[in-house]
Every structure is written in C-alpha cells, then in structure tokens.
C-alpha cells in the first residue's frame, strides 16, 4: 500500500475504529487506535506521536544506525531523513514499521558561487549520491555507461544481484528496489505516467525503468565516474557484511 502526500497534506495511522478512522491501518493490539499523524511540508515531513504511553523511533536505513526517538504526545516533530522507517512498539517478536519517503530535498548547484540566496541556482534534479536509490540508478545505467550501445534495462532481480556486494545493500530486496525506482521516477526525476499502450503491470514497470535510465543518461545525472560506487563486478557478497 502506497500513500502519496502533497505539501500540507496529512495521514493518520493506527489500529483505527469507527470513532477514530485512520488512513494507514496497523493491525497490532499494542498500537493505539489513533497512534500518530504524518504531515508533508515542502522539503521534509513531520511526525506527531498521539500515543499517551509509547515512544516511536524514526530510523534512517542509510545512516549507519542513525535514528530519532519521538516521545509520547510530541506534536509536529520535524524529520530530516530523506528515507525513513517509522518503528512502533509491538507485542510481536519484532516491532511493526512502515517506510516514509520525504518530499524532495533541494540542493544548491555545486557550481554556483556567491550571491544572495534568491539569486543562487538550484539543481534541477536533487539526488543524494550517497543514498541507496542513487546506487539503484547507477546499476540501471551501468550497461550503457560500459558498453555505449543499446541493451536491455536490467531487471529488478538483476539490480539486486548487482548491488549485493555493497555494504549498504547486503539486505536489499526486489521489493525495496522497486520502491526506489518508483521514488526516482515519481519524486526525484518527475517522470510522467507510462505510455498508454503499456497496460500491463510488467509493461508499466519496464517503461518506468527505461524512462529513468533515459533521463539520467540524457542529462548526465549518472556518469562514468559514478560506476566506482558499485561493488566490483563478479565478486560475491561477504556473508558477514551488514548494511
């Protein structure tokens, strides 16, 4: 289930009831009927913890253990991470969680020097080159950058295999790769909907991957020097590596 929010829009989450309707239902008896609220802003999001007793964690999956603790009854806590995992206490063996992709983070053009803030040039496509989604993008573009000839776009399982040797991607799944591709297409590169003739789910997915690769190469978002971010080709992942 994916919910998309524009600036100023909100989503409430929790166990839900007729008296407390929620947009994101979490079926766990330890979660409050109305557990919390997410609000999107221009370049970040806010989390309100509506529980009277339980604190929540917001983890940065790409931040080497970085996290924030949101105490009970805290309203509008700003979350700086571009990609987050919200973790709620549970009576299960593992906590319940869901993922949040932040609104587009804006970056200053690296070639812009001096001048007032109003006169400075911002990047058209603000991608974080240290993020996992950028690794996914580089892996998708790799065949063109190495062979410089038309080839098939790597499939999602091929991207998983290609990145498995990277320390940050040892636990990367096909579902996570698909989520990163959706994020790249819909939020970061702002690619329009698939062609009308791409009616099947597989066709839509393939069309989205091809569009992402085409735009990234056309505008030089991914270049040959970015190939060094990928793990060496042909080397298996270290089984002891932890992301």
- Over residues 18-50, the pLDDT tens digits come to 999 999 999 888 899 999 999 988 778 999 999
| 107 occurs within a structural domain | no
List residues bridging with 97 in a β-sheet: 87
| Domain that includes residue 175, residue range | 132-229
| 237 occurs within a structural domain | no
- The whole-number pLDDT of residue 236 equals 47
Let me know whether 217 and 151 are in one domain. yes
Let me know whether 143 and 185 are in one domain. yes
| 66 occurs within a structural domain | yes
Total domains in the chain come to: 2
Rg (CA), the chain: 20
Let me know whether 94 and 181 are in one domain. no
Let me know whether 150 and 74 are in one domain. no
Among the listed residues 94, 87, 83, 90, the one whose alpha carbon sits nearest the alpha carbon of residue 70: 87
The domain that contains 59 carries what CATH number? 2.60.200
Among the listed residues 8, 76, 82, the one whose alpha carbon sits nearest the alpha carbon of residue 42: 8
Among the listed residues 43, 60, 41, 188, the one whose alpha carbon sits nearest the alpha carbon of residue 126: 188
Let me know whether 137 and 95 are in one domain. no
Type and span of the H or E element at 142: helix 132-147
Q: Indicate the residue among 51, 78, 101 that finishes a domain.
A: 101
Alpha-carbon gap, residue 32 to 15, rounded angstroms: 6
First to last CA, the chain: 25
- The whole-number pLDDT of residue 188 equals 84
Let me know whether 82 and 170 are in one domain. no
Contacts of residues 77-80 at CB distance under 8 Å and 24 or more positions apart, as own/partner, are: 77/46, 77/47, 77/48, 77/49, 78/44, 78/45, 78/46, 79/44, 79/45, 79/46, 79/47, 80/44
Let me know whether 22 and 95 are in one domain. yes
- The whole-number pLDDT of residue 243 equals 39
Alpha-carbon gap, residue 117 to 33, rounded angstroms: 44
Alpha-carbon gap, residue 36 to 45, rounded angstroms: 13
| 1 occurs within a structural domain | no
| 110 occurs within a structural domain | no
| 25 occurs within a structural domain | yes
| 199 occurs within a structural domain | yes
Query: Which regions of the chain does DSSP assign to beta strands (E)?
Result: 10-14, 24-25, 36-40, 45-49, 56-59, 67-70, 77-79, 83-88, 96-101
| 22 occurs within a structural domain | yes
Q: Indicate the residue among 51, 83, 101 that finishes a domain.
A: 101
Q: Are 124 and 215 in contact (CB under 8 A)?
A: no
Residues of the chain with pLDDT under 50: 117, 119, 121-122, 236-237, 239, 241-243
């Amino acid at each position: 289930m994916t919910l998309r929010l524009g600036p100023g829009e909100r989503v409430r989450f929790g166990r839900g009831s007729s008296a407390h309707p929620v947009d994101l239902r979490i079926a766990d008896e330890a979660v409050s009927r109305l557990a919390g609220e997410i609000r999107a802003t221009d370049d970040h999001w806010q989390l309100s913890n509506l529980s009277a007793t339980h604190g929540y964690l917001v983890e940065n999956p790409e931040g080497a253990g970085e996290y924030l603790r949101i105490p009970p009854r805290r309203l509008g806590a700003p979350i700086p991470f571009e990609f987050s995992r919200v973790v709620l206490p549970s009576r299960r063996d593992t906590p319940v969680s869901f993922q949040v992709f932040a609104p587009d983070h804006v970056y200053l053009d690296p070639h812009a020097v001096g001048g007032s803030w109003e006169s400075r040039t911002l990047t058209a496509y603000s991608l974080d080159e240290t993020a996992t989604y950028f690794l996914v993008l580089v892996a998708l573009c790799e065949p063109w950058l190495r062979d410089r000839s038309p080839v098939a776009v790597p499939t999602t399982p091929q991207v998983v295999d290609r990145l498995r040797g990277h320390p940050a991607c040892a636990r990367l799944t096909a579902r996570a790769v698909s989520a990163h591709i959706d994020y790249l297409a819909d939020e970061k590169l702002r690619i329009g909907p698939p062609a009308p003739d791409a009616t099947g789910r597989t066709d839509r997915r393939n069309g989205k991957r091809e569009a992402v690769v085409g735009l990234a190469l056309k505008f030089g978002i991914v270049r040959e020097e970015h190939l060094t971010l990928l793990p060496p080709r042909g080397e298996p992942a270290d089984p002891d590596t932890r992301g």
